[in-house]
Amino acid sequence: MSDLLETPPPRPTRKPSKNAGMVRAVFSTSLETSASRMRLAALGFLVLYGVICAKLVYLGFKPETVRHPAAEAVSASRPDILDRNGEVLASDVKVMSVFAEPRRLIDKDEATELLTAVLPDVPSKELRERLGASKKGFVWVKREVTPHQRDEVFHLGLPGVGLIAENKRVYPNGPIGAHVLGFANIDNQGIAGIEKYIDGQGLADLHNLGFGATPDELQPITLSLDIRATHALRDELEKGVTRFKAKAGAAAILDVNTGEVIALASLPDYDPNHPTDENANALDLTHINRMNVGVYEMGSTFKALTISMALDSGKVNLGSRLDARGALSFGRFKIHDYHAQNRALTVPEVFTYSSNIGTARMAMGQGVEKHKAYLRKMGQLTRMRTELPESAEPIYPKNWSELNTMTIAFGHGLAVAPLQAMMAVGALMNGGYLITPTFLKRSQEEAMKNAVQVVKPETSEAMRYLMRLNAEIGTAKRVNVDGYFVGGKTGTAEKVVGGHYSKTRLFTTFMAVAPSDKPKYLFLTIMDEPQGRPEDGGYATAAYNAGFVTGEIIERTGPILGLAPRFEPPHTPFPLLAKLGYGMANVPAAGGHGH
């Protein structure tokens, strides 16, 4: 019995269930699957956070990519503008500006007081109103602060007030070339000139869409201007305006073979670094670009177009004679010559004596419709388009009569932009090809792609011959600069005052080509209301002012432009005319006061 008590009875054995084994197997598999999923999820989160961390590091090194209200307001970059030789005419520099985030300001009155203490030119009341606009997340406090003001604002340590670098447009040459360059506003947007043209090419649209470009990503714009020649031209023009007490003046140099504007100045002008300056405001109507925006009666320089029309038609040649006896009557109107010869004049004499009667008869010989068609072909009756957004529409009679044709023949009754007249005369000098002027650098091959032949080569040579003859013996003698074989034409127009032509208020022009045997550059100077000088006999006509200034410009810019002086005249300067027996020695002498 003791044995029975010490040894417990054996337990009955139970056969394992198939279901229990399956449960254990499923449970074990489930644990393994869950662990695998957890590891996969952890790996996914690790990768995700790794990407986020990498992005944050990237943004840390590229702060300009962060979209912040201040960054949105910063002025965008603009491309550099260069002259034809690579000299910088306009570029961006970085300046610091102060901004505020009204919602983050703790005490707006205190912020106003502290900010106006270090920025005294910021109106306190106006700033308080801007900062009081709590719904705004961003406002400018002051743009373009000085380094000293930047440091003072920084040391204020005001929450909600910050500094940010933005772009400012600078023009290292000040007013030189201002009317071509135009200017940009405080937001670095082009307002006029080439600056506005650049925005019109798509730069402004990209910036508005948020695609701001860095300076390194923008290709510079190369202009046709030569800044050295432009400086010399402006300097001589300024001296001339002062010398002749003119109301205003303008001048330009055009490459007749490419249409490139090499130099241009219009006075009074302005400094594009300070376009709203009180004494030289770019938006003042007296500071317009007179070469491109102003329209004027060009006076006797237009006679070149009339004579070329007659020569090109074949009805007139250099040996033709025109009756210039007495006055030319049309109804109650009479046309007189300033240098009346009271005899029949040859075509060269009509040009060198600047005969109104002779040119009027040539135009009448063509008729009204042919005259209009010729001027339209020469680009004088439609608005001339260049890269400069500013341009002017010509002014001409709606009801064009025979009398209009007679007066327009010698430059009265049709007003055009001076650069537009240069385009037409350029075609008469370069072999007969009308080339639209450009302010961008281009080759002769590029220019000829869109050039239109408007007169015969023989007509072009005849006009160059007449221009040279006029500089030797005619009204353009004052521009006969030694060594450059210059040709020229004067133009004096009476200004319209109160609906009538004024005898005392003149608009003078002078057009010159150099060299006239192988034309390269066309020069034009205009003077608005120049005054006669006692030493000039009181004459205020073109030769004494616009002609004088043009001569000074040619003499000074010739070496800059690479015009090598030739002190021996070319042997056969006009070969086509030489075959017909025309030379510089077989024409009667002429002269006068440069009407």
Is residue 513 within 8 Å of residue 486, measured between CB atoms?
yes
Please tell me whether residue 8 adopts helix, strand or coil conformation: coil
Phi and psi torsions of 395, nearest 5°: -115, 120
Is residue 83 within 8 Å of residue 89, measured between CB atoms?
yes
Q: Which residue has the tokens 């002027």?
A: 437
300, 354, 460, 516: which is the annotated catalytic residue?
300
Alpha carbon 116 to its chain's center: 39
- Please tell me the distance from the alpha carbon of residue 337 to that of residue 462, in angstroms, as a whole number: 23
- Report H helices in 212-288: 227-243
Q: Which residue has the tokens 């020229």?
A: 488
300 among known catalytic residues: yes
Going by the DSSP 8-state scheme, the letter that residue 395 receives in this structure is B
Is residue 273 within 8 Å of residue 184, measured between CB atoms?
no
CA-to-CA dists, residue 230 to 198, 385, 510, angstroms: 21, 22, 18
- Please tell me the distance from the alpha carbon of residue 366 to that of residue 312, in angstroms, as a whole number: 11
- The closest of 419, 395, 397 to 509, measured between CA atoms, is 419
- Please tell me the distance from the alpha carbon of residue 176 to that of residue 55, in angstroms, as a whole number: 48
DSSP readout, 526-537? Answer: EEES----GGGT
Q: What tokens appear for 480 in the block?
A: 């006969």
- Please tell me the distance from the alpha carbon of residue 197 to that of residue 459, in angstroms, as a whole number: 36
- The closest of 300, 577, 590, 546 to 458, measured between CA atoms, is 577
Q: What tokens appear for 334 in the block?
A: 């009479």
- Please tell me the distance from the alpha carbon of residue 470 to that of residue 486, in angstroms, as a whole number: 9
- Please tell me the distance from the alpha carbon of residue 247 to that of residue 244, in angstroms, as a whole number: 9
Strands 221-222 and 81-82: parallel
Is residue 551 within 8 Å of residue 478, measured between CB atoms?
yes
Is residue 74 within 8 Å of residue 168, measured between CB atoms?
no
What is the torsional sign of CA 172, 174, 179, 183?
positive
Angle between helices 303-313 and 418-429 (to 10 degrees): 40
Q: What's the residue count for the chain?
A: 595
- Report H helices in 244-337: 303-313
- Please tell me the distance from the alpha carbon of residue 250 to that of residue 511, in angstroms, as a whole number: 12
Phi and psi torsions of 480, nearest 5°: -80, 75
Question: Which active-site residues does the annotation give?
Answer: 300
